[in-house]
Chain A
Amino acid sequence: MLSRKAICDSHGQDSSYFNGWQEYENNPYDEVRNPTGIIQMGLAENQLSLDLVESWLASNPDVVGFKKNERSMFRELVLFQDYRGLPAFKNELVEFMAEIRGNKVKFDPNKLVLTAGSTSANETLMFCLAEPGEAFLLPTPYYPGFDRDLKWRTGVEIVPIHCSSWNHFKVTESALEEAYEQAQKLDLKVKGVLITNPSNPLGTTMSREELNHVISFAVDKEIHIVSDEIYSGTVFDSPSFISITEAAKNRNLENTDFWKHIHIVYSLSKDLGVPGFRVGMIYSNNETVIAAATKMSSFGLISSQTQYLLSNILADRKFTRNYMMENQKRLKKRQEMLVSGLENAGVWCLQSNAGLFCWVDMRELLESDTFEAEMELWKKILCEVGLNISPGSSFHCTEPGWFRVCFANMSKETLKLSMQRIKDFVDSIDQSKDNRNNLQFSVSNSRRRSLTKWVFQLSFFDREKDR
């Protein structure tokens, strides 16, 4: 009766990533009304700096009445449905994007296609770059929503590039080659690599070395690179962000055919904290892609009202510069709070310098080194501890025990409370382990924790070299 797409589950929403949200919806934490409810730590939202935008609005009444130079903008705006987008908005966006990249690269507004969120941007790019049944390679762990956005209605397949903790989940040449071979074994034609940089869920920026591996690989195989840079403005610590454009420029690829294989996805949902406004975009050096994507954007244009509002905010360059700086400061502080809170509970995170979350190592808390154990632990943390964190398996991580924990979508007090809950939980596990086993085991446990700490300190020094 319905289409195959309607009946299948390729929308990916049966994954645990989304089930946790359901539990949260049923019992959401509220400081006053439901203090024992579940704290939402599975939502990568940036709520830390919206007050800055709010006060900008309060001080800029001109935007209010749609008035500009005493002429009413209203009529123009309600009628504006040109899929090329509001010119003023695109001009501001490219400036904003350049600022985020330290002005090391410049963007052309005519190469920018506006879409309803990066959800739509990613899907649209797949429609443009691949046929049903063809594949894109993605480093794991990756954002669960990609299973829906890249595959569901497009029929495109994802083949994972396996990354693991031994080298902090960095993309290696061999992992790229292995993924390619795997695709061939599955009889899937590879059309490109899609990277998320900074990474979700890792919270790290890709090193120049990694980017070069990806570029060399894509050049060699003559495939596309899609770089989802949605978190580019959330980089709060060194090493600084290197965009795919910058990396490719440094390889002198700017005037080559390969330049047209590079496409960027961006959005204001994370950097500016306005996911409700549905502002996404594709930036491509390929005119055919721009032409096709522009037409496809008809299926999800950005409300003209919103384009107008944001173009005015972004036009205030002083404001945006100040916003970015302040936002990054607040993110850094918040991340430090989460990291130290977890450390205090004896739990460690992957060293991160970006994003709205940490990639937390809870392998030691697993009953066994299996995904079943990860699910058990997750259910406990969700239902008994009352924290909706996201299990690594939902990000297609190959190693059980990793969890993504968000820190920018709640108040400081709530974060403190969640740290307390984790500490209590870990302590209780240790306690029960102590009770079950003899002293020797608990000593070796704490030895194991010290070892892990030592390993991560080492890894920190490794990262220093990447700057």
Chain B
Amino acid sequence: MEFTNMNRQLLSKIATNDQHGENSPYFDGWKAYDKDPFHPTQNPNGVIQMGLAENQLSFDLIEGWIKKNPIASICTSEGVNKFMDIAIFQDYHGLPEFRNAIAKFMGRVRGGRVTYDPDRIVMSGGATGANELVMFCLADPGDAFLVPSPYYPAFARDLRWRTGVQLLPVICESSKYNFQITKAALEEEYEKAREANINVKGLIITNPSNPLGTTLDRDALKSLVSFVNEKKIHLVCDEIYAATVFSQPNFISISEIIEEMECDRNLFHIVYSLSKDMGLPGFRVGIVYSYNDDVVNCGRKMSSFGLVSTQTQHLLAAMLSDEEFVGRFLAESSKRLANRHQIFTKGLEQVGISCLKSNAGLFVWMDLRPLLKEATFEAEMVLWRVIINNVKLNVSPGSSFHCVEPGWFRVCFANMDDMTVDVALQRIRKFVRQGKEGEAPVKNKPWRKNLRLSFSSRIYDEAIMSPHMMSPHSPIPHSPVLVRART
């Protein structure tokens, strides 16, 4: 966006810089989807959205519960008598029953191995708001947080934009460690920062990981705890995907580890949300859970800037207190995710595409290194644009996650129905086969045995380098009902 001189002087730097990150090519794929969205009957050749980490597999269970429990809604005749009390309640502690229900739910998700104190539950505007809030509490402008890469692209906005905090990526490599974070890598990054006189305030991890879809094992978590404890820096654990674990190994929360280890509990903070586990991103339920009393107090005051609507608190308090429903939901959701993951990964395997072995999340970390012309990010971008424009799938390139190795792509599988998954797999199969047909004998190239591809230069030439344009954070503008009144 062009800024007039007047704007530059008149507005803040924050308003006119691009630290919100939306100029990144990551959003070009969404733009392509916006312009040409797939629909099974109305637009069967459109772009399939595989860049959106949403859990759409189990909303029928939630809808069913709501229909059976009209009293939980303040709009039904059964529940409307609560309307006034709910509408005027703006205490930033939140409805007590909501806090209790969330604390219980978080415990259930961790198999009952930990209990959470409702008085430590602080609300926020989604995990987006929660992550920013935690930074405001823990760090001053110019301070830094270590973050293992690859990591969720929007951290650049959420953790840095208005807070002025720096992010220092800790490289996790695939070859030796399957992208797992190592103590050596942490130490190295920490020392580098110290030498550059950067004040490292903490480490932020996402467990289960976005984009990897893997969980950290006990030893890894323990070494993180001892690292931060030794350096006296904070550990923020974004556990937003905790209930999307669909196969072994089980999820281990940082809460379990700090119960087991000697450590300064004031250093530990959890960020959580219902957007992924329950598939309710529209409801904006973010939670900060801190073991540090000062952070709880300060965070609670800051939560005024992003409280959860009491209408939503009220509904969810009832839903999450229904223990039978919660048990059933968690089990069924997990099953459906496992099933979908298997269909998708098997389908990819059939055409020789492998993914990082994963047990959680709403996506796979797909290995397309063999398809790159060369092991560079330019080649990754070219391949990506081919996938968007020719194969018509919006997948997310690894570079947008700050991955240091070109060729990895995050592909979401839980935000569509079975039929669309089928269509996506068919397109991938066709794409891979087309590549095989144009194949010439290759020598001394590190292709995998069962996947030998080369692309006709025609396909590469056709890859359109579309201009970088800003795209919205999350587009569902094509819902006919929701846009009907748009001017």
Contact = CB atoms under 8 A, between A and B. Distances in A.
Interface in B147-199: 157-158, 161-162
Q: How many A residues touch the partner, as a band?
A: 35 or more
Contacts of A51: 84
Interface stretch (A62-70, A319-327, A388-396, A417-425): A62-70
A33 to B, nearest CB: 16
Contacts of B25: none
B445 to A, nearest CB: 43
Given A64-B73, A77-B282, A80-B482, A53 B87 contact: yes
A54 B304 contact: no
Contact of A54 (B84, B282, B311, B312): B84
A81 B281 contact: yes
Contacts of B122: none
B43 interface: no
B15 A292 contact: yes
Given A82-B474, A277-B310, A298-B128, A127 B481 contact: no
Interface stretch (A86-94, A238-246, A334-342, A437-445): A86-94
Question: Which has the most chain A C-beta neighbours within 10 Å: B284, B309, B470, B473?
Answer: B309
B315 interface: yes
Interface in B472-487: 472-477, 479, 481-487
A303 B73 CA distance: 14
A264 interface: no
A131 B13 CA distance: 7
B12 A274 contact: no
Lowest 5 A-B CB distances belong to which pairs? A304-B282, A276-B310, A300-B306, A300-B125, A303-B309
Contacts of B138: 2-3, 6
Contacts of A83: 472-474
Contact of A57 (B66, B75, B295, B301): B75
A27 B381 CA distance: 64
Contacts of B3: 288
Nearest to B477: A82
B15 A129 contact: yes
Contacts of A299: 125, 128-129, 132, 158, 162, 305-306
Contacts of A317: none
B294 to A, nearest CB: 6
Contact of A87 (B14, B282, B315, B486): B486
Interface stretch (A97-105, A113-121, A449-457): A113-121
Interface stretch (B55-63, B324-332, B398-406): B55-63
A359 B66 CA distance: 46
7 contacts: A72-B63, A80-B476, A82-B475, A273-B88, A277-B309, A295-B20, A295-B473
A51 B158 CA distance: 40
Interface in B331-377: none
A309 B75 contact: yes
B88 A261 contact: no
Contact of A4 (B81, B89, B140): B140
A271 to B, nearest CB: 13
B305 A81 contact: no
Given A50-B87, A63-B75, A129 B12 contact: yes
Contact of B137 (A5, A123, A261, A274): A5
A303 B59 contact: no
B419 interface: no
A273 B87 contact: yes
Interface residues of B, number: 91
Contacts of A68: 481
Interface string A291-327: 1100110111111111001000000000000000000
A178 interface: no
Contacts of A191: 10
Given A277-B310, A305-B312, A148 B89 contact: no
Interface in A121-161: 123, 127-132, 148-149, 152-153
A130 B138 CA distance: 23
B474 A91 contact: no
A18 B183 CA distance: 46
Nearest to A68: B481
A295 B161 CA distance: 11
Interface string B47-87: 00000001010010011001100100111110011011011
Given A3-B139, A64-B75, A78 B485 contact: no
Contacts of B481: 68-69, 71, 73, 76
A278 interface: yes
Contact of A148 (B75, B77, B301, B473): B301
A65 B65 CA distance: 12
Nearest to B314: A276
Contacts of B307: 116-117, 278
A152 B140 CA distance: 13
A58 interface: yes
Given A79-B476, A127-B14, A224-B10, A303 B308 contact: yes
Contacts of A5: 136-137, 140, 298
Contacts of B125: 116, 120, 298-301
A119 B476 contact: no
Contacts of A459: none
Contacts of A277: 87, 309-311
Contacts of A164: none
A64 B71 CA distance: 11
B66 A74 contact: yes
Contacts of B137: 2-3, 5-6
